[in-house]
Amino acid sequence: MQSSHQITVQTIIAEKLINTVFQPIFDIENETIVGYEALTRGPQNTPLFSPEALFEAAQQHNLLSELELLCRARAISRFVELKLEGKLFINICLNVMLNKDHPYGETIKLVEQSGLSPNQVVIEISEKSPFPNSDILLKALNKYRKFGFDIAIDDVGVGYSGLKQWSYLRPDIVKIDRYFIDQCDQDVMKREFLKILFELGRISNALIIAEGIETKEEFELLRELGMVYSQGFFLAKPNEYPIQKFPTLDVCVSPKQVSTIETIEMLVTTTKTVEYNQSVNHVYDIFTQNINIYAIPVLRENKPLGMIFRNQLMESYSDIYGRALFSKKMAVDIKSNNHMILDHSMPLEQVSTLLTARANAEFTQPSIITKNGYYLGVVSPRDLLKSITESKLEQARYANPLTGLPGNVAIEKEIDYMLKHKRPFNLAYLDLNHFKPFNDIYGYAKGDLLLKTLANSIMINTSNKCCFVGHIGGDDFIIMFKNNDVEKVCQNILTDFSQQSLSFITPEHQKQQGYYALDRSGKNIFHPLVSLAIGVIQPDTTCYNSYHQIADLASKAKSEAKKNTGSSLFICRRQKQHSFDITSV
């Protein structure tokens, strides 16, 4: 036996000295594991331990095909042995896939022998290697598709062919390269690029996986941008015995658990559908027998591929040769992609933005709604527009007219929802000190501008996904926190507002740290500069059942904060209705 430092790739292949580790891929909306990526490691404590070194050595000795077959066989057998759930992602080298000497059909043999189904396996190809001629690659991939495998493109965004291959190959799954994930929370360009990729995934009906997530900040930003499927060290590292349950993460509570926002799912209706391989004549018969059906979704294994529209098909059949031309075609051959495919959890406000960006001809077409990538139903444009209009009117009706923030009705509704569902939250009550003297000295117009400045400071420093901001009225605001960043966010608001408010104060008054104005009894007395008081409560939601109880607690916390001079933060550490533990910051 060779020493560990002299071991060769020939020996590794001959003696099958590789190890397979698995990294989970998560559905963060449903907090489940949807699959595992199989990754190969060489013998430990050898120069060929890393996959990069191992595959480079195999390529140098013209043994890539042999090494890949060994890796696939080991990945499949270990996946079954460990009884892992979900899909198995297997990496395949393009050079091997297109090598004429590589044995055809070996992967399907290995899969069938193991007892797995091909639809449990994803063939993952990397965009880091130069893609060959698109037609050649498409033919190679179609061989895998015929067996029932899903196709994933890995490392999208850094390769030679970029988005062109995505458009042409139409993969089932797209994985975003780590380069765009790395510190995306600190890079505006990466953030915008990621937005585009998630939107392209929605349009092309491809599942998007953000891989290589290593920090909490990256994870939270990606989820805010629309990420559903994720992979990376922050969630779980590759392991020979990978985790099989969703991990406990120190992140903001998932929006799906706390959101009271109306989503597109509330408008879903059912309609007739057809399978991709059913005849066009069958589709035509459905339209002729159901005069109220204007569009039919085309599905494959309950995943939407497109839509067939009545007016287009009827126009084609009206031609003298129409029926003869279409009689041998399948539904998938005539489907249209000019429609929206929306996830069931998408807020109506976001749908409104997408809808208004559509072309006029597409504006009146129904949208397909999915859940976890599978067909759920359709939404008519009429129902969508009606609901969006009603939602906008309700928001406008109950919003504060000065700041546009949710008013008392929305605030009460949000708090009651959290109490009813026993969701933990922190509540901050914000109030300006000495606001009346400011109004008296500088006028109500500047007073309104100061309130807008405070509202802006709050919105800049809070996350829409983890915080609910409301304007009670006058100079009173609330923030409901659904994460644990309360003290940090409140301190940022205090600092930001203190700096911004000085732009409204004359240099003379800044120097004096105040001004003379009439008090409520008509006496001319000195008042300090306007400042901000924040009182925070952390209620035990199992002990309260009404908005009024929470409002009373928050008001007491605010009063404690206002006892201090200047801007201050008071946090009540008590969770139940007893005397306060005072923490002033």
Burial (CB < 10 A; 0-12, 13-18, 19+), residue 258, is: buried
**What span, in angstroms and rounded, lies between the C-alpha atoms of 193 and 157?**
9
Domain end position, chosen among 258, 276, 308: 258
377: Cβ–Cβ under 8 A, 6 or more apart, which residues? 268, 269, 270, 271, 369
**What span, in angstroms and rounded, lies between the C-alpha atoms of 479 and 557?**
13
Residues 369 and 421 in one domain: no
Q: What are phi and psi of 269, to 5 degrees?
A: -125, 160
Domain membership of residue 19 (yes or no) is yes
Q: How many CB atoms lie within 10 A of CB 543?
A: 11
Q: What is the pLDDT of residue 462?
A: 85
Q: What token pair was written down for 119? A: 């639809």
- Residue-level pLDDT, tens digit, the chain, 585 residues: 455 557 899 999 999 999 999 999 999 877 889 999 999 999 998 999 999 999 999 989 999 889 999 999 999 999 999 999 999 999 988 777 777 777 778 889 999 999 998 989 999 987 555 555 557 778 878 888 888 899 998 866 554 455 777 877 788 899 998 889 999 988 878 888 888 888 888 777 788 999 999 999 899 889 878 888 999 999 999 999 999 999 988 776 444 433 445 678 888 998 999 999 999 999 999 999 998 898 999 999 999 998 999 988 888 888 777 778 887 899 998 998 777 888 888 877 677 766 665 555 556 788 899 988 899 999 987 888 788 777 777 667 778 889 989 999 889 988 998 898 888 899 999 999 999 999 999 999 999 999 999 999 998 888 666 789 999 999 999 999 987 789 999 999 999 999 999 999 999 999 999 998 877 777 888 999 999 999 999 999 888 988 899 999 999 999 999 999 899 999 987 666 544 444 444
Q: Cα 438–440–443 angle (5° rounding)?
A: 85
Query: Which CATH number covers residue 465?
Result: 3.30.70.270
Residues 189 and 78 in one domain: yes
**What span, in angstroms and rounded, lies between the C-alpha atoms of 162 and 490?**
43
**What span, in angstroms and rounded, lies between the C-alpha atoms of 440 and 385?**
46
Report helix, strand or coil for 296. strand
Q: What is the pLDDT of residue 162?
A: 59
Structure confidence by residue, pLDDT tens digits, 203-241: 777 889 999 999 998 998 898 788 889 999 999 999 999
**What span, in angstroms and rounded, lies between the C-alpha atoms of 538 and 568?**
18
Domain membership of residue 336 (yes or no) is yes
Residues 177 and 57 in one domain: yes
**What span, in angstroms and rounded, lies between the C-alpha atoms of 286 and 445?**
64
Domain end position, chosen among 361, 388, 415: 388
Domain end position, chosen among 227, 258, 289: 258
Q: What token pair was written down for 45? A: 């404590």
Residues 539 and 415 in one domain: yes
Q: What is the pLDDT of residue 582?
A: 44
Q: What is the pLDDT of residue 259?
A: 42
Q: What are phi and psi of 515, to 5 degrees?
A: -160, 165
Report helix, strand or coil for 183. coil
Domain membership of residue 580 (yes or no) is no
Nearest to 42 by CA among 61, 58, 29: 58
Domain membership of residue 286 (yes or no) is yes
pTM of the model: 0.53
In the chain, the number of structural domains is: 3
Domain membership of residue 565 (yes or no) is yes
Q: What token pair was written down for 152? A: 């994933």
49: Cβ–Cβ under 8 A, 6 or more apart, which residues? 41, 42, 43
458: Cβ–Cβ under 8 A, 6 or more apart, which residues? 430, 469, 477, 479, 493
Q: Cα 414–420–421 angle (5° rounding)?
A: 95
Residues 227 and 283 in one domain: no
Residues 276 and 346 in one domain: yes
Nearest to 515 by CA among 503, 501, 530, 500: 530
Query: Which CATH number covers residue 277?
Result: 3.10.580.10
- What secondary structure does DSSP assign to 225-261, as a single string? HT--EE-STTT---BSS---SPPP--SPPPHHHH--S
234-248 burial, b at 16+ Cβ within 10 Å, e below that, comes to: bbbebeeebbeebee
Place of tokens 């409520």: 520
Residues 166 and 269 in one domain: no
15, 70 in Cβ contact below 8 A?
no
Residues 377 and 449 in one domain: no
Structure confidence by residue, pLDDT tens digits, 542-558: 889 888 999 999 999 99
Residue-range definition of the domain harbouring residue 538:
399-572
Residues 321 and 227 in one domain: no
Please name the amino acid found at residue 316: S
498, 531 in Cβ contact below 8 A?
yes
Residues 193 and 89 in one domain: yes
Residues 354 and 459 in one domain: no
Q: What is the pLDDT of residue 380?
A: 86
**What span, in angstroms and rounded, lies between the C-alpha atoms of 110 and 103?**
12
**What span, in angstroms and rounded, lies between the C-alpha atoms of 345 and 27?**
14
Residues 19 and 111 in one domain: yes
Q: What is the pLDDT of residue 160?
A: 43
Domain membership of residue 581 (yes or no) is no
Query: Which CATH number covers residue 184?
Result: 3.20.20.450
Domain membership of residue 582 (yes or no) is no
Q: Cα 489–575–249 angle (5° rounding)?
A: 55
Q: What token pair was written down for 294? A: 């204007």
Nearest to 426 by CA among 494, 469, 466, 482: 482
